[in-house]
Amino acid sequence: MDSPRTGAVRLFHDGLDRIITAGSWLATAALVGVLLMYWIEIFLRYFMNAPTSWASDFTAFTLCAAIFLMMPEITRTGGHVAVTLLTDLLPQGPAIFAKRLIALAGAFACLFAAYISLLSNISQFTGDISTVSTIAVPKWWISSFITFGLAVSALEFLRQGFGARQFSAATSIG
């Protein structure tokens, strides 16, 4: 029988995995939305001679969301760019220890950046700050995706740093 702590830890890991998976599905949907927007823009511009005024803004905002919604999945799978020379040269035990330290450093960096981003979200919300674009959108709608991506990636790095995921010295940390 699992102890309550083990059950709580498992619940945390399952919840984190669900959040990361949902984010990656939303990012995929956002990219499909960008593709559809391009098709609509091409049709309206070249066949109807009536280009949209908001397609460029929609694309930029949606790409920002897609990048930061997918960021935790990239962190989980180790799909990010990594310089592995040090861990490749170390024996297995020290390499795993080094990967854990690197993951904890990544968690700290992401948490710090998420904190700064959250402060910016709050400032944008309380200041009622909007984008300077054809169709003004509250900036916090867009920048909240940055906070999400950084915060959830930090949680994934923490999970990796504390050894919740098993890996060998020859594989990435994901």
Q: Do 132 and 118 meet the contact criterion of CB atoms below 8 Å apart?
A: no
pTM of the model: 0.85
Encode pLDDT of 16-64 as tens digits. 999 999 999 999 999 999 999 989 999 999 999 988 888 888 999 999 9
pLDDT means over runs of 10, the chain (174 residues): 68 94 98 93 92 88 96 93 86 91 96 98 96 90 97 96 61 47
Token pair in block for residue 121: 């979200």
pLDDT for the residue 166: 53
Torsion (CA) 72, 77, 79, 84 in degrees, nearest 10: 120
